[in-house]
Structure 1
Amino acid sequence: MRGSGWKRLTGWATIEGQILRRRHFTPAILERIAQRIGECERAHTGELMLAIEAVSPAHEPDSHARALEVFGKLRVWDTPLNTGVLLYLALDRHCIELIADRGVAAPAAAWPEVCERLRHHLRQGRYVEGILAAVDDIEGICARHCPPAEGQDGANQLPDRPVLL
């Protein structure tokens, strides 16, 4: 879902990103998403973090590279079993990226399917439903590939509340 070149040239992409964030990611919605993430993470050792960027920085024009940068800056990699997963949305660029740490032994084909389902929801303007469905999809993958480890106290290693960048 890449924005067209005219949106970038005119600055409309920046305005659109801000509008989308304000309209679809209110404090109440962010809390609802955080609760869903917290509930889902109880069944496995996977840790999901959602990062929503209204306006992508000019220094990194590639959304995948930006998602990797955010993965590092938010320390998604810093979990005891290396089971962090980042769901990154660049609203101005209409991009979705999913990055999983090396401890999540899911097949590579699982992640694009989640992104495509989320993309379908977003195109229809169903942001909250799409994000919640993506959280459920990611948590399903983590439940299969990051089972609870013996001796793990189930402590939440990453914040559940989505991060607005």
Structure 2
Amino acid sequence: MNLKRIIRHLWTDRWTVRRAFPAHAMQTIEAAIRQAEAGHQGQIRFAVETSLDWEPLLKSQTARERAIDVFSLLRVWDTAQNNGVLIYLLFADRDFEIVADRGIDGHVGKQGWEAICQDMESAFRHKQFEAGVIGGIKAVSEHLARYYPGGQGAQANELPDQPVQL
């Protein structure tokens, strides 16, 4: 049990996230997802979680473990070509995680996703919250466009583009 982490999660509230991602920023992120998906057949979701609840916090659940839970909760895995990607931010930990369905994950791999997360975390440290997420969306989209290009016969939008605040 990490006391510093528990305190940070207790002090981080929804208003902190709303200051970092006000309504116009969330609308811009939604538009970026919609625009990115127009160029390929992949699906992108963005979720930001303020902090963990008591039980997972006391069990030392990692951001990665929680991102996998959210991936399932939002049904990002439920795409025809197994090409859904979740960009997850655990705000209290200032930790980005990318969880990708097996189709695209087999092409990009852990190191590819981690490089994108590091870029987003760098922008986050400079308080460039919206720009960091949009940069991550563009980087994920480049991989999706390479392996699941758009064009005739492209899949319909299978997952909502709207960001989720948990």
TM-score norm. by structure 2 comes to 0.88
Counterpart mapping for 1:115-134 below 5 A: 115-134=117-136
The RMSD of aligned alpha carbons is 1.7
Specify the alignment match of 1:162 in structure 2: 163
- 1:42 paired residue among 34, 38, 44: 38
Give secondary structure in 2 for the equivalent of 1:31. helix
Which blocks of at least 5 consecutive residues in structure 1 are unaligned? none
Aligned-partner residue type, residue 161 of structure 1: Q
TM-score by length of 1: 0.88
Q: Which amino acid aligns with 1:5?
A: L
For 2:159, give the aligned amino acid: L
| Cα shift readout 1:39-69 (whole Å, capped 9, x = no counterpart) | 0101111100001000113333222111111
Is this contact kept in 2: 1:56–1:93, CA < 8 A?
no
Match for residue 59 of structure 1? 55
The alignment-based identity, stated in percent, is 30
3-state SS of paired residue (2:36): helix
Higher-helix-fraction structure: 2
Aligned match of 1:33? 29
For residues 1-20 of structure 1, the aligned pairs below 5 Å read: 5-8=3-6, 11-20=7-16
5+ residue gaps, structure 2: none
- Following superposition, the deviation at residue 19 of structure 1 comes to 4.2
Q: CA deviation at 1:150?
A: 5.2
- Alignment partner of 1:69 is 2:65: no
Contact 2:83–2:102 (8 Å) recurs in 1: yes
Q: Name the CA distance, whole Å, in 2 between partners of 1:18 and 1:151.
A: 41
Structure-2 separation of matches of 1:87 and 1:14: 23
Q: Secondary structure at the match of 1:106?
A: helix
For 1:76, what is the secondary structure of its paired residue? coil
Query: Against the structure 1 CA distance between its residues 79 and 5, is the aligned structure 2 distance closer, same or farther, given a 3 Å change threshold?
Result: same
